[in-house]
Amino acid sequence: MSDLVTRFAPSPTGHLHLGHAHSALFGWTTARSAAGRFLLRIEDIDPNRCRPNYERDLIEDLAWLGLDWDGPIRRQSDHFDDFRTALARLESLGVLYPCFCTRKDIAAEIARAGAAPHGPDGPLYPGTCRHRSAAERAERIAHGDAPGNSWALRLDVEAARRLTGPLRWHDQVQGWQDATPELLGDVVLARKDTPTSYHLSVTVDDHLQGVTLVTRGEDLFFASHLHRLLQALLGYDPPDYHHHGLLRNAAGERLAKRDRAQSLRSLRDEGRSPAEVRAMAGFAG
Ligand code: GLU
């Protein structure tokens, strides 16, 4: 057995499609061909979007496809304490600040400023709450239950970068990268009612689960710049990365959960075999 550990980390917000199958097979094949371990993690921190039936169905779909995984499945919603611990560490470093802006406030501020820096996922947070005084923060948090006043904790990326200094990370396709987490701006790391975010929980879990190679789609390439910063702040060794290409439909668009025709379930209902679906997902033989 080698030391290689990869994982597949779907969110149960819909049925898996061929793009997920590609990603899962990529991580699984990479691990198995190196006699390493392959882990399955359910990223279900968002109770508004995740459903237990999707979790049950995705586990069944992956097994039907012929995949197996090592050890128990880690369900993120069972581990909020791990994320709280990491958040407390970031808080103690002074790199978090509460943000009281609603989406509307942010849109209005961007419109007012005339132009806003854009990141790979759209306009960046304009920093409205970054410089509020401690007194104002306390006052607003005390009134945090007022409608529209739900607060979030954001990462002060510049303050964090000053602490860590320059960082690098490695992608097996694109080579060494100088970390540029500022491309994503001051991201939300937790909300009043959810003590974590995708960025925080994925970084914590990849570390706690001993993942040595993060395999995932290239749509998450820029997120890795930020995850590298979080790893440095939290004292984690960085894993290696392999951001793979995305499967596209005939029109060249990325497959999405809403494209029901492409779901593994619908292909199976049409009578396709696991081997056929594996081939459609780019893994023939
Ligand atoms: N849960 C994420 C998703 O379904 C993937 C996270 C990752 O691989 O880092 O898009």
Residue 248 has pLDDT above 90, yes or no: no
Atom of ligand 1 nearest to the CA of 8: 8
Q: Cα–Cα distance between 123 and 212 in angstroms, integer?
A: 32
Alpha helical stretches, state H, 179-220:
198-208
The pLDDT value given to residue 130: 94
Whose C-alpha lies nearest to ligand 1, atom 6?
Answer: 9
List, by residue range, all CATH 3.90.800.10 domains of the chain. 81-191
Report whether pLDDT(279) > 90.
yes
pLDDT in tens, 208-226: 999 999 999 999 999 999 9
Q: What pLDDT was estimated at residue 147?
A: 58
Fold of 81-191: Glutamyl-tRNA Synthetase; domain 3 (3.90.800)
Which pLDDT score, from 0 to 100, does residue 258 have?
65
The residues lining ligand 1, judged by C-beta closer than 6 Å to any ligand atom, are: 9-11, 43, 202, 216, 220
**pLDDT of 20:** 96
What percentage of the chain exceeds 90 in pLDDT?
76
Query: Which ligand 1 atom is at minimum distance from the Cα of 10?
Result: 4
Taking the model in full, what pTM does it have? 0.94
pLDDT digits (tens, 9 = 90+) for 98-132: 999 988 888 898 888 877 788 888 889 999 999 99
- 5-78+247-280, superfamily in CATH? HUPs (3.40.50.620)
Mean pLDDT of the chain: 93
Kindly calculate the radius of gyration of the chain based on its CA atoms and give it in whole angstroms: 20
Alpha carbon of 9 to ligand 1 centroid (Å): 5
Which mutation among 216, 219, 257 tests ligand 1's pocket best, with the greatest number of atoms within 8 A of CB?
216
Burial tier of 137 (Cβ tally within 10 Å: 0-12, 13-18, 19+): middle
Domain with CATH 3.40.50.620 in the chain: 5-78+247-280
Ligand 1 mutation target, pool 220, 226, 230, most atoms within 8 A of CB? 220
pLDDT at position 255: 74
Residue 68 has pLDDT above 90, yes or no: yes
